[in-house]
Structure 1
Amino acid sequence: MRTFLVIGALVVACLASASHAARTMDRCTLAREMSNLGVPRDQLARWACIAQHESDYRTWVVGPANSDGSNDYGIFQINNYYWCAPPSGRFSYNECGLSCNSLLTDDITKSVRCAQKVLSQQGWSAWSTWKYCSGSLPSINNCF
């Protein structure tokens, strides 16, 4: 019986931990948090569109292997070959100077900062989903 209780407690702890790590945002929550991090309001609708198409607003997503064997991480699906250090220890330029796992947390600060760096170096077209987000987008103003 004691073993059953210990195993049960471990399962509950794991489920609680997994549900905490498995944050799914929505368009307005993302816009408000990004605004609080200083992202210009005129960019928020584009960022929300990218997050929707890249990860469906999920912070914990690791994309399947790309053709070069790299993976994309987090709400903005940031590539590990160029921008973050993968947990495998595989080579990365790591331009954002962080672990890819730090892009998978509920706190999106590092994801936002790294995404802004990608934008500053490569522009919006760095995201393959940009084609869905390059035109006119619904206003984000109703989120504030």
Structure 2
Amino acid sequence: MKAFIVLVALALAAPAFGRTMDRCSLAREMSDLGVPRDQLARWTCIAEHESSYRTGVVGPENYNGSNDYGIFQINDYYWCAPPSGRFSYNECGLSCNNLLTDDITNSVRCAQKVLSQQGWSAWSTWKYCDGSLPSINDCF
């Protein structure tokens, strides 16, 4: 119960230290971080469907008790250390709170690691982002 209260408090507080991006601002920042341009339309689609481009989002509890964090909704059981101290494989080697900041560098690096290990289908919203997507060329 205590962990649930902490997670609810985090979810309510998260928007206070996050920002809402848009498709083009995300594409430009990811490009500046070295993400290949041919991936940007997919990443922006995932961010739109996972978090509505919001960096400070903590998702509701998943079936296994885990939560998802940040603009790409990265899972705390596998990829980051949850603030509750609950077990995590922490494959990205960082606190989940580092995925909730205005600086998206940690989120991008961790999301790239997820992609390299599990592919695009690691995101449940992938079904919306598979196939042809609008060009991001107008963002540059």
TM-score, normalised relative to structure 1:
0.86
Q: Unpaired segments of 5 or more residues in structure 2?
A: 1-13
* Residue aligning to 1:128: 124
Q: Would the aligned equivalents of 1:62 and 1:73 in 2 still touch at CA under 8 Å? A: yes
Does residue 64 of the first structure (1) align with residue 60 of the second (2)? yes
State which of 21, 27, 30 in structure 2 corresponds to 1:25. 21
Q: Aligned partners of 1:67, 1:27: CA distance in 2, in Å?
A: 30
* Identity %, equivalent residues: 86
Q: Aligned partners of 1:129, 1:59: CA distance in 2, in Å?
A: 17
Structure 1 position 22, deviation (Å) = 2.8
Does residue 143 of the first structure (1) align with residue 132 of the second (2)? no
* Residue aligning to 1:82: 78
Q: Unpaired segments of 5 or more residues in structure 1?
A: 1-17
Q: Would the aligned equivalents of 1:20 and 1:106 in 2 still touch at CA under 8 Å? A: no
TM-score, normalised relative to structure 2:
0.89
Larger Rg: 1
Count of residues in Structure 1 that have an aligned counterpart in Structure 2:
128
Q: Equivalent residues in 2 for 1:19-58 (5 A)? A: 21-58=17-54
Q: Would the aligned equivalents of 2:15 and 2:57 in 1 still touch at CA under 8 Å? A: no
Distance 1:19 1:128, change over 3 A: closer
Structure 1 position 19, deviation (Å) = 7.0
Structure 1 runs of 4+ aligned residues shifted over 6 Å read: none
